[in-house]
Amino acid sequence: MPDIESTTNSRIKGLVRLRKRRERDATGLFLVEGERELESALGVHEVLDVYVCQDLLTEHGARVYREILTGGSVPVTTVTESVLEKISLRGNPSGFVAVLRQWKAPLSGLPTEDALVLVVESIEKPGNLGGMIRSANAAGASVVVADATTDLFNSNVIRASMGTLFTTPVAVASTGEALEWLAANDISIFATTPSATQSHSEANLTQPCALVVGSESTGLSEGWLGMDQILIPMTGTIDSLNASVSAGIVLFEAVRQRRLGG
């Protein structure tokens, strides 16, 4: 019999409240859903509790569940399908919801040697932010979230990142702090903007550098536009790309140049 069967259980109500940023900020806690995301978090960040519905586990999820039980360090609470659906924000819950403690994300935690940094300014959509973190992880880059309008611990950020939030060096800072940190570490800055005259493929991205992408609605602030600017050439009728797509394009141009030596 599951440990919790009622959707009105006080612990379950507390988990539901963590969907809201105000509650996440107040408690310092957040939720992680899905076996891939939870697997990425295990052993990297502090997992406080895991709520599991065994009837919903996939084959992959069952392996992760065995890993948790074998480790013995994470408390596990079994719940019914209706209870997990109450906690979950997903249409088809995969069997897990975990509670994790938030962590600090200072600029001092980022690597600086041969740096490749993706700076994302004022990104509004959690899915876009998560997608950018995923692309940065694939490119071997770190991420600076400047003037954040959504928090790292939003469930859609975690989901879109496919769990790479837990394994990618990420910092949160103001634009002013990010500019100071980049200058102090001799990291060149390339701001992506449609008003640039230099293509992203023409810039020298083999040096330690930061690639800066702004929001789709407002673009980049003045602080970044005083730096070297690059654009992604487009030949269609549209004059802009999704911010997450733009980030992936410039990141992998840097990867290409570095592999070829320029």
Question: Where do the structural domains in the chain lie, given as residue ranges?
Answer: 10-101, 107-260
Strand order in 76-78's β-sheet? 29-33, 96-101, 47-52, 76-78
Q: Is-contact 214 121, C-beta < 8 A? A: yes
**Pairing assessment for the beta strands 188-192 and 96-101 based on DSSP bridges:** unpaired
- What per-residue confidence (pLDDT) applies to 93? 85
Q: Is-contact 191 228, C-beta < 8 A? A: yes
Say yes or no to pLDDT of 166 above 90. Answer: yes
**Which pair of structure tokens corresponds to residue 114?**
């041969």
pLDDT digits (tens, 9 = 90+) for 197-211: 999 999 999 999 999
- What per-residue confidence (pLDDT) applies to 202? 96
- What per-residue confidence (pLDDT) applies to 19? 93
CA distances for 47 relative to 44, 51, 120, 158, 186, angstroms: 9, 11, 27, 15, 36
Q: 0.85 cut: is pTM over it?
A: yes
Would you place residue 139 in the very low, low, confident or very high pLDDT band (cuts 50, 70, 90)? very high
- What per-residue confidence (pLDDT) applies to 262? 55
- What per-residue confidence (pLDDT) applies to 217? 78
Q: Which CATH number fits domain 107-260: 3.40.1280.10, 3.40.50.1980, 1.10.3720.10, 3.40.640.10?
A: 3.40.1280.10
The closest alpha carbon to 143, from 129, 155, 162, 156, belongs to 129
pLDDT digits (tens, 9 = 90+) for 219-238: 899 999 999 999 999 888 88
The closest alpha carbon to 124, from 156, 101, 97, 91, belongs to 156
**Which pair of structure tokens corresponds to residue 236?**
């269609």
pLDDT digits (tens, 9 = 90+) for 15-49: 999 999 999 999 999 999 988 999 999 989 989 99
The answer to whether the 10-101 and 107-260 domains have the same CATH topology is: no
- What per-residue confidence (pLDDT) applies to 246? 95
Separation between Cα atoms, residue 136 and residue 163, nearest integer Å: 12
Angle at 71 between CA 68 and CA 76, to 5 degrees: 45
pLDDT digits (tens, 9 = 90+) for 55-108: 999 999 999 999 999 988 899 999 999 999 999 988 788 899 999 999 999 999
- What per-residue confidence (pLDDT) applies to 216? 78
Region 162-166 average pLDDT: 96
Residue with the two structure tokens 């599991």: 52
Q: Is the dihedral of CA 46, 52, 54, 55 positive or negative?
A: negative
* CATH homologous superfamily for the domain 10-101: Ribosomal protein L30/S12 (3.30.1330.30)
